[in-house]
Amino acid sequence: GAVVSQHPSWVICKSGTSVKIECRSLDFQATTMFWYRQFPKQSLMLMATSNEGSKATYEQGVEKDKFLINHASLTLSTLTVTSAHPEDSSFYICSGQDHNYGYTFGSGTRLTVV
Amino acid sequence: DAKTTQPPSMDCAEGRAANLPCNHSTISGNEYVYWYRQIHSQGPQYIIHGLKNNETNEMASLIITEDRKSSTLILPHATLRDTAVYYCIVRVRNSGYALNFGKGTSLLVTP
């Protein structure tokens, strides 16, 4: 089956620094990549949608200059959290979409900003 | 996407069948019923999907009522590893849009 590899699985960073999260589709081409975040005891909330080679579309309330998304190839998408603050601490999850496999999710990244 | 309603939590004894209900009374004719689950601190995992016929795979069975207004996910022999939040999602297949996750059902499988 389809696999999306997400790294790192957890990261701790200092307030004000930037963190990059990578998602790679290993055996399919993800024409679209979705990025979610999940706060404790809450459901997944969509942050943005990115199509390969295009600018990402952000959901209302998500700062595009803070959460930089790059989807330069059909197998790699990255999310960079810039100038991270403690309120950005969350569980970030990517999901790749392919017409054959549907939606495949990464294993998630636990970000803690101290 | 059609709205879905699931009970917030359920318990099931290990080895017994877990039956998770989902109401989707506003489902459209071209919308599928998808089930995903999320084990704690992991990404969601696809379980099964169906349009109107009952479906079965190695993980679970999906029973959809004839009027398609509700469905039941059945885990035939629940194990402790099936403890997770289960999400029922209704949507058009390959729409190109993201999956919208509601609150789901938190299933606890007990020894």
- List, in sequence order, every residue forming a beta bridge with A79; answer none if it has no partner: A21, A69
B29–A contact, CB cutoff 8 A: no
What is the distance in angstroms between the Cα of A114 and the nearest Cα belonging to chain B?
20
Q: Are B18 and B41 in contact (CB under 8 A)?
A: no
Report d(CA A56, CA A61) in Å as an integer: 14
pLDDT tens digits, chain B, 111 residues: what are they? 779 999 999 999 999 999 999 999 999 999 999 999 999 999 999 999 999 989 999 999 999 999 999 999 999 999 999 999 999 999 887 777 889 999 999 999 999
Give the residue from chain A lying closest to B102, CA to CA. A43
Best B38, B51, B89 residue to mutate vs chain A (most A CBs within 10 Å): B38
Of B41, B87, B101, the CB nearest to A108: B41
